[in-house]
Amino acid sequence: MKTPYARIVRRETHSPRTVTTIVLASMIALGCVYLGTELVLRMLGQPALLVTPEDALSWLAALPTLQPIWAIGLGGAVLGLIGLLLMVHAVRSGRLARHQMLHEGRAVIVDNGVLASSIARRVETVARIPQGQAEVSVSHRRAVVDVTPTSGIPVDEAAIRTAVAEEIASYNLKPTLRHTVRVNTTGAIGP
């Protein structure tokens, strides 16, 4: 469904890459400033801050022949892993703990905590259990409902499953939620 709000919905449900971009840009800028400083000091005939550009280039050229070779290989593997993680981070969409509710062509964004609270309240009403005995966690694609009945008072598991399914269906969420209902065998002491 392409709504006029699609761009806003995407911005509100996915995390930006701003922090990673700023950190990487800052590291690159600091590296360039340091390299520029070393080059200017070399041109002025002053001693280097850490290492002269010639020494750095000769060390880099001799890197494949340095010993122990396993340490060089390990360093290369670590740098490769960091690069791979950065590429995955750049390509993979980061999701926030929010869902889009499809409602008459309008953009409605709902936090997962609000969904969990609403489902828990419905379960507590249907199961006739005190508040806090239904724990619900909502992730991007799944809702997990844990019900702890009051000791000695059975609950209707089928009614709870039906209530959870109806509650989730009434929200008309995108992406849709699958749900799991677990009723604990041990009960809680009543109020």
Model pLDDT for residues 1-24, shown as the tens digit of each residue: 455 677 777 777 777 777 888 888
The pLDDT of residue 29 is 96
13 and 75 within one domain: yes
Domain end marker among 91, 116, 139: 91
The pLDDT of residue 168 is 92
Tokens of 165: 């399914």
How many CB atoms within 10 Å of residue 109? 15
Asked whether residue 117 is domain-assigned, the answer is: yes
The pLDDT of residue 175 is 82
Asked whether residue 47 is domain-assigned, the answer is: yes
Asked whether residue 28 is domain-assigned, the answer is: yes
What's the domain count of the chain? 2
Mean pLDDT calculated for residue range 125-154? 90
C-alpha 15: how far from its chain's center? 8
The pLDDT of residue 2 is 59
The pLDDT of residue 159 is 92
Of 164, 159, 93, residue with least CA distance to 135: 164
127 and 102 within one domain: yes
The pLDDT of residue 4 is 67
The pLDDT of residue 191 is 61
Asked whether residue 1 is domain-assigned, the answer is: no
pLDDT 10s digits, 81-126: 999 988 888 777 677 778 888 777 777 888 999 999 999 999 999 9
The span from the CA of 58 to the CA of 41, in Å, is 18
The pLDDT of residue 143 is 94
Residue 141 has pLDDT above 70, yes or no: yes
Asked whether residue 188 is domain-assigned, the answer is: no
The pLDDT of residue 59 is 86
Residue range of the domain that includes 166? 98-183
79 and 131 within one domain: no
The span from the CA of 73 to the CA of 7, in Å, is 44
Sheet holding 134-138, edge to edge: 134-138, 142-147, 178-183
Strands 134-138 and 98-103: what pairing? unpaired
pLDDT 10s digits, 43-81: 999 998 888 888 888 888 888 887 788 888 898 899 999
Mean pLDDT calculated for residue range 158-177? 90
Question: Going by C-beta distance under 8 Å and a sequence separation of 6 or more, which residues neighbour residue 90?
Answer: 17, 20
The pLDDT of residue 150 is 84
Asked whether residue 15 is domain-assigned, the answer is: yes
